[in-house]
Amino acid sequence: LDPTLDLVEAINRLRREKNAVILAHYYQEGEIQDLADFVGDSLDLSRKAAATTADMIVFCGVRFMGEVAKILSPSKIVVIPDAEAGCSLEESCRPEPFAAFRAKHPDHVAVTYINCSADIKALSDVIVTSSNAEVIVNSLPLDKPILFAPDRHLGAFIAKKTGREMTLWPGSCIIHEQFSEKELVKLKTRHPQALVAAHPECPETVLRHADYIGSTKGILEYVVKTDNQEFIIATEPHIIHQMTKAAPGKTFIPAPFAEGECASCADCPFMAKNTLEKIYLAMANAGPAIEVPEDLRIKALKPLERMLELSA
C-alpha cells in the first residue's frame, strides 16, 4: 500500500464508488468510529444491516456481527476488515457440545446471546442481545424452562432480573471476566462521587457495585443523561470515545483489572484487529467477504427474526 495514501479520503472514495455503508461497534478504535456511517450496539447494528439499501456492508466489529449482517441481508456484499476477528464467547460454544446440551434438556427453550456462530444460532429458538434479553425472556411462556448460552454472566443477570429458572452454558468474555472487584472497590474509594456503569457480561462480583447495568448503548445513554460528573466504566474502554464526544465535560474512568495489569488490558484483542488500512483493502478487494451457506442461513435467520419481532 502506498504509504502516502490518505486512508480516510481513499475509504470515502470507495464508499461512494461501491455504494457502501460502514457500520462500527462502540469497541472500535475512535478513528474507525468517526469514519462510520453508524456506530451502535449489537442490536442497533443488526437493525441497520437488515434495513440498509447499500450494496456493500463494511462491518467493523467482530466476525459474528458481519455474519449476522449477511444472514439478515443476504443480497448484500458483507465485508469485514480482518477475517481473524473472532470472539471468546463464540469460541466457548461449539456446535457439537451445544447440540448435546440441547438434547440433554429437550423441554427447554434455547435463548442464545448474539455473540455466537451461525451454527449455534441455527440450533437456537431465539437470539438476544444485552439490550433486549430481559424483554425477550419475559415474553417466553412461564411453563417452559430456559437454556441460556453462551455468556453465563449475562444469563445469571437475566435470570435474577426475570426470576426465571435458567440452565447456563459456562461461557464468558475474556475481557469482562477480568474486571477486578477488589480494584474496583479501591477505585470507588478514591472517587467517591463516581457512578459505576457496567455491561452485563461482567461477573456478579462486579455487577453488585454497579449503579447502572446495560448494553453499550444503554451505558452510553446513562452517562450522558445522568446528572453526575464522574463515571467508572466497566466494559471495553473504546466506548469512552463516544462518551467524551457526547458529554465532553464529564470524566470517564475505565474499570480496573487485577493489580499490576496494564492500562490497555481491557482492550478487546479481536476488535483491535481492525485498522483503517484493512478497511480500505476490504472495500477495494470486496473481501474478506462473509458467506453463509443458504440452508444454514435460513435456519439461523429464524431465531434472529424472532429476536427482531420480540424487541420491536
Q: Which is nearer to ligand 13P, 14 or 220 (CB)?
A: 220
- Site map 44..83 versus ligand 13P, x via CB under 6 A: ----------------------------------------
Supply the minimum distance, in Å, between the C-beta of residue 230 and ligand 13P. Answer: 22
The one among 115, 172, 242, 311 contacting ligand 13P by CB under 6 A: 115
- Site map 127..166 versus ligand 13P, x via CB under 6 A: --xxx-----------------------------------
Q: Which is nearer to ligand 13P, 38 or 145 (CB)?
A: 38
CA distance 129 to 255: 22
Supply the minimum distance, in Å, between the C-beta of residue 49 and ligand 13P. Answer: 14
Supply the minimum distance, in Å, between the C-beta of residue 99 and ligand 13P. Answer: 23
The one among 41, 67, 82, 90 contacting ligand 13P by CB under 6 A: 41
Give the list of residues 6+ apart from residue 56 with CB closer than 8 angstroms, or none.
18, 19, 20, 21, 76, 77, 78, 79, 283, 286
Helix pair angle (7-17, 276-285), 10° resolution: 30
Residues 306 and 126: beta-carbon distance below 8 Å: yes
Supply the minimum distance, in Å, between the C-beta of residue 115 and ligand 13P. Answer: 5
Of 200-219, binders to ligand 13P (CB under 6 A) are 201, 215-216
Q: Which is nearer to ligand 13P, 52 or 216 (CB)?
A: 216
Q: How many residues bind ligand 13P (CB under 6 A)?
A: 11
Taking CB under 6 A as the binding criterion, the range among 35-43, 75-83, 179-187, 189-197 that sits at the site for ligand 13P is: 35-43
Supply the minimum distance, in Å, between the C-beta of residue 75 and ligand 13P. Answer: 25
> Would you give the DSSP letter of residue 290?
P
- Site map 182..201 versus ligand 13P, x via CB under 6 A: -----------------x-x
Is position 42 an interface residue for ligand 13P (rule: CB under 6 A)? yes
Taking CB under 6 A as the binding criterion, the range among 125-133, 135-143, 190-198, 245-253 that sits at the site for ligand 13P is: 125-133
CA distance 108 to 102: 8
Cis peptide bond upstream of 74, omega within 30: no
Residues 212 and 218: beta-carbon distance below 8 Å: yes
Among 256, 194, 254, 198, CA closest to 229: 194
Q: And the C-alpha cell for 202?
A: 461482567
> Would you give the DSSP letter of residue 289?
B
Residues 126 and 102: beta-carbon distance below 8 Å: no
CA distance 82 to 312: 31
Q: Which is nearer to ligand 13P, 42 or 117 (CB)?
A: 42
Supply the minimum distance, in Å, between the C-beta of residue 206 and ligand 13P. Answer: 15
Among 170, 175, 164, CA closest to 199: 175
**What DSSP element (H or E) covers 126?**
strand 126-128
Q: Which is nearer to ligand 13P, 169 or 280 (CB)?
A: 169
Q: And the C-alpha cell for 279?
A: 478497511
CA distance 156 to 253: 26
Instruction: Provide the binding-site residues for ligand 13P, judged by CB under 6 A.
Output: 41-43, 115, 129-131, 199, 201, 215-216
